Amino acid sequence: MVFNWGVGLPIFDDILPRKDVWPETAVWPRLRAEALLSRFQQRFPSIHYDIYWETRLMNAQAFIGSKGRCVRLYGGLGRHRRLGVEAIAFALAHETGHHLGGPPRHPHYSTISSEERADEWACETGLPQLFGESVARRYAERGIRQLAAVWEKYKQTLSRAPDLINAAE
Amino acid sequence: MGMLFNTPATIDIITKLNARYDGKTARGGDIVHHQKIATHGGGKARDVAAALALTPDDAKQSIATKPTTNWNQWLDFLDLHDNAKDVGKKCSETVGNAIVSALTIDNKYVIEFYAVPDCNSTGFISVDCTTVNIPSGPVLCITAYTMTFDRHKNQAH
């Protein structure tokens, strides 16, 4: 049986072509992702971080499950050939911000923060706590730009990037 | 969804699901529908979803595939697959029981739905239910862990 599963609610969306991602067995992208997740896990121990590496879903996700508040990185994002460490770090900080950002809440979920608040928290709190002010600013700038280059929706975030980054100073 | 990227179909169905059980409107009348799937063989998840208008609006989607078709296939899986996280029950039974329980305890209980792509060592799909307390009150989170298309295809070949 073949079904049209994909990103998001995994019923509707597409996965990346193989040519767009590093192979599952590529060592460097995996080490990079694991190092980032380990850093996030140590800094934000109330969140459970994990990786679903084998998939080519280009995404990351904040959700609540039996382990509590979770953040998951998907292989299509972690292995994407056009995304650097800055984009992955920003994505993980954004997802963490959904859990730790507080109000305003997401329009469809009372249990997580809104997209805008998650972005703000990533720039103001998450990335600086992890990497210090200077590196955080660079990661936010470059990360948002890299994400906008591979996904249309992030062009909205890119347009707000100067405000986000200035707010973090 | 808590996803970094979401498509129109994803946003559409999540909006409908979470808006229906956002605690602002009493949904006690839904119990009778969910009771049908709370007992295995009592009803189909896709029929309950249709009765409660919990289906994507294909007309508004820009993607080539028909979201309703995919949604119904996925709901069928809930009926078909045993839930490794709730032994002895199909996934749809777990969902039906949780919703009925929440709506029975409090007619305005907030219920939120997460769908999580997963490698699912425990099977094609599994479901768990977690209650979290936030300042506005308790929220029942129903989380479905679903094997993704690419992995399923790999396993099938």
A35 close to B (CB below 8 A): no
Report the distance separating Cα A134 and Cα B28, nearest Å: 53
Report the distance separating Cα B129 and Cα A49, nearest Å: 19
What's the mean pLDDT in A162-168? 71
pLDDT exceeds cutoff 80 at B67: no
Q: Which helix (H) or strand (E) holds A51?
A: strand A48-52
The predicted complex's ipTM stands at 0.84
Query: Where would I find the H helices in A44-151?
Result: 75-78, 85-100, 115-121, 127-131, 133-150
The encoded tokens of residue B72 equal 């119904």
Q: Where are the domains of chain B?
A: 8-156
The residue among B106, B14, B136 whose CA lies nearest residue A110 is B136
Hey, what's the torsion of the CAs at A144, A148, A151, A154, to 10 degrees? 70
Report the distance separating Cα B102 and Cα B62, nearest Å: 35
- Give the contacts of A2 (CB within 8 A, at least 6 positions apart): B149, B152, B153, B156
Confidence bin at A6 (pLDDT 50/70/90): very low
Report the distance separating Cα A163 and Cα A157, nearest Å: 10
A110 contact residues in B (CB cutoff 8 A): 22-23, 110, 112, 134, 136, 139
Does the distance separating the beta carbons of B143 and A108 come in below 8 Å?
no
Share of chain B above pLDDT 70, in %: 78
Per-residue pLDDT tens over the stretch A84-140 = 999 999 999 999 999 999 999 988 899 999 989 999 999 999 999 999 999 999 999
Window from A41-45, A129-133, B106-110 with minimum mean pLDDT: B106-110
Confidence bin at B62 (pLDDT 50/70/90): low
What's the mean pLDDT in B123-132? 87
